[in-house]
Amino acid sequence: MKVIKVFALFILIQAVAWAGAHVYQNQHRETVLIVADTSYAMKPKFPAMQDWIENYETQARYKNLLIGTDKAMLGKLAELKSKTVIFRTSFGSMTAESLARYTELPAKQKILLSDGKVQPNGWEVIKF
């Protein structure tokens, strides 16, 4: 009988710890900015980039994901009606200056989906 009580106490402690961690993580979400290079040269890579974004979203349980392109900020990824709006247009070429609109954004992590020609400081570049 004592073994059952100890085991039940252990299960209770684990459940309380899990619930506490879940509540804390939900209240202290990390902001991650994902910017997609929508230049004309990247147009053939759009399906692969969209797959990468969807895979990242499924793994980012306790994160606020902001999405933008090198042309404009789109907002929260979860609030987009469709992921295809990210790659609606492709024109011009991306430069480091086109990422300047994101310098003041309070994101803990900044991810750039591109071909790797631009290596901005403070960004993690995912090459396609």
DSSP string, 5-62: HHHHHHHHHHHHHHHHHHHHHHHSPEEEEEEE---GGGGGGHHHHHHHHHHHHHH-TT
The 10s digit of each residue's pLDDT in 105-115 is 889 999 999 98
For range 80-93, the mean pLDDT: 83
Q: 29-127, superfamily in CATH? A: von Willebrand factor, type A domain (3.40.50.410)
Distance CA 49, CA 83 (A): 11
Q: How confident is the model at residue 97 (pLDDT cuts 50, 70, 90)?
A: confident
pTM of the model: 0.81
Q: How confident is the model at residue 10 (pLDDT cuts 50, 70, 90)?
A: very high
- Report the mean per-residue pLDDT for the chain: 90
According to the model, what pLDDT value does residue 85 have? Answer: 87
pLDDT surpassing 80 at residue 90: no
Distance CA 124, CA 5 (A): 50
User: What tokens were used for 83?
Assistant: 């992921």
According to the model, what pLDDT value does residue 51 have? Answer: 94
**Please, what is the end-to-end C-alpha distance for the chain in angstroms?**
60
According to the model, what pLDDT value does residue 91 have? Answer: 77
What are the CA-CA distances from residue 14 to residues 6, 23, 24, 91 (Å)?
12, 14, 15, 53
According to the model, what pLDDT value does residue 89 have? Answer: 78
Indicate the SS3 state at residue 64: strand
Residue 128 gets which letter from DSSP?
-
